[in-house]
Amino acid sequence: MVTFPPGDDQSVCAICENPFEEYDSEFASNYANLVCETCDEKAVTKHGTEEVTRPANETEGNPVYIDGHKCWRRYRFGGHITRLDEYDCESVEEFHKQHRGDFVD
């Protein structure tokens, strides 16, 4: 059960549940469990260690952890979007499979 599945309008962040300022709900409806930029800025690449590393690129930058929540990013056009993982997936492919049945990349 995905809280904010793709295809449904999403107007609040999947983590903090504050209304999006940077995304409109139509944009957000393209993604599962979209995370707001305020949360996104807290992302680190290591979980449960003292090492806090800011995600740098697509290879290093998945998954990321925001307040202990595992998230997966999609990097494109020099930017990225971040999506909350509700199934503790092992890979971005698994994330897509679990969170959006229609996914074709």
Residue with tokens 């260690």: 49
Shortest reach from residue 20's CB to Zn ion, in Å: 8
Residues in the site for Zn ion, rule: CB under 5 A? 13, 15-16, 36, 39
Minimum CB distance to Zn ion smaller for 37 or for 93: 37
Query: Nearest residue by C-beta to Zn ion?
Result: 13
Contact 101, 70 (CB under 8 A): no
Minimum CB distance to Zn ion smaller for 16 or for 94: 16
Contact 83, 34 (CB under 8 A): yes
Minimum CB distance to Zn ion smaller for 12 or for 94: 12
H helix runs in the chain, sequence order: 25-28, 37-40, 92-99
